[in-house]
Amino acid sequence: MTSDDPDEPRDAPALVALTELGRDAAQPHAPSALDQGLNAVRARVARGQVRRRSLRRFVLFGATSAVCLVVAVKVVSIRRDGGVLPEPPVVVSRIEGGTELEGGYLSQSGVAGVKVLFNEGSTFALTAGTRGRLRSVADDGAHLAIENGTASLAITRSRTHRWLVEAGPFLVTVTGTAFTVSWDAASERFELRLRHGHVVVSGPVVNGGIWLQAGQRLVVSLPRAETVIMADRPDDGERVTTGTAPAAARPSIAKEIASRPAPAAKGTRARRWAADLASGHWDRILADVDREGVDATLENAGSEDLFALADAARYRRRGDLSRAALLAQRRRFPQAPRSLDALFLLGRAEELREHGTEEQAIAWYDDYLSQAPRGAYAAEALGRKMILTNELGGPERARPVARVYLLRFPTGSYAGAARALERAP
């Protein structure tokens, strides 16, 4: 988009592309549709009616009684949802002891480390000398990274926010928790001490995702291909010099509760597929798979890596590989939240597959809708099911799906198609 004013700000390239997409998506209406619109306007003008809006009728019914009713319903709604209110987007509220540089890197101004405070109460504190960065901070969470050193995190529990912390080649998926994580790039040693809550750690040598509970400590040594999970002792190891005080120490259990060697990476680079995916390095992920072998990858990769692989393969139109990664995700991590998403994406992969069938895609969407009726992809799954049903059996068969869609998602992306199906002869 060009600007005729030199003082006018330049949009980010991605925003320019997105704006063009939005502009081009709207297409002129057909003359018949315009005629219908004109007839409707004429009828309204003739009746002298103003626009009917349910909210307006509601206000006319009586402001006082409406407010009372709304408050009552809101209270009931909040109680039913476990007291959960809509959550604000995550933003950085301030940075203590340093500044943010280009690329999200955190520069320390003193010797006490740097601490990032977020608006919803979460904190990310780097010890002195630690190299870390804010990869992205978005509405639905943040993606942080430690390239070398130790950081302490206290993440406020949230229903919708998703926090990812990269430490070297490891990826820590966080909900609500407090922990200290470190990555020593020289010795290739990863360590995570979990004070409370739980996290999932994925990366090389950990044989898929590792679920850690409060009071546990995970140490991974890449050169020794060793993964050790032990009970954490509060007085053990280094302390973070900035950040929130550690949570109350859990009872010390001296014995090691788990120690398992893991296969060494055979000539492949350490997996950082979630990061590669986020950076758009899809070919790098696929090259890793080609080097390691598809079967071995599908058996060894962690949940997040499989998901990243499925996306990368999808983006590169390798539908069969994407589908295989999603099926591996379902088989190996059936309890992971990603497994539900995989159901929907399997439907999409089936639609994209050279020899895929509409029936099988519909079956995947049905599975998703039955297991996650209010899931993130519910509207999309139902919409796709409606479209495919129409392709298979025509409007007669698709109409019931369209009705359900309109009831559940009256302003959804497929609402126009659903209405068209309802009107179809």
Residues 153-212 that bind other proteins (CB under 8 A): none
Q: How far is CA 153 from CA 144, 176, 195, in A?
A: 10, 10, 10
Looking at the Cβ atoms of 162 and 189, the one nearer to other proteins is: 162
Q: Burial level of 14, CB count in 10 A (0-12/13-18/19+)?
A: exposed
**Residue 136, C-beta contacts closer than 8 angstroms, at least 6 positions apart:** 104, 142, 143, 278
The answer to whether residues 408 and 401 touch, using CB atoms and an 8 Å cutoff, is: no
Identify which range of 195-203, 257-265, 364-372, 407-415 contacts other proteins by CB under 8 A: 407-415
Give, in degrees to the nearest 5, the angle at Cα 200 between 93 and 297.
125
Considering only residues 112, 117, 214, 278, which one is a binding residue for other proteins as defined by CB under 8 A? 278
* First CA to last CA distance, the chain: 42
Return the closest-CA partner of residue 275 out of 245, 305, 253, 254: 305
Cα gap 294→291, rounded to integer Å: 9
380 binds other proteins (CB under 8 A): yes
Considering only residues 14, 111, 245, 248, which one is a binding residue for other proteins as defined by CB under 8 A? 14
416 binds other proteins (CB under 8 A): yes
57 binds other proteins (CB under 8 A): no
Identify which range of 123-131, 260-268, 290-298, 352-360 contacts other proteins by CB under 8 A: 352-360
Considering only residues 50, 60, 248, 254, which one is a binding residue for other proteins as defined by CB under 8 A? 50
Looking at the Cβ atoms of 292 and 341, the one nearer to other proteins is: 341
Q: Burial level of 382, CB count in 10 A (0-12/13-18/19+)?
A: buried
Looking at the Cβ atoms of 392 and 420, the one nearer to other proteins is: 420
By CB under 8 A, the residues from 315 to 344 that bind other proteins are 315, 317, 319
Backbone angles phi, psi at 330, to 5 degrees: -65, -40
Considering only residues 161, 217, 323, 348, which one is a binding residue for other proteins as defined by CB under 8 A? 348
Considering only residues 165, 306, 379, 402, which one is a binding residue for other proteins as defined by CB under 8 A? 379
Considering only residues 6, 9, 251, 267, which one is a binding residue for other proteins as defined by CB under 8 A? 9
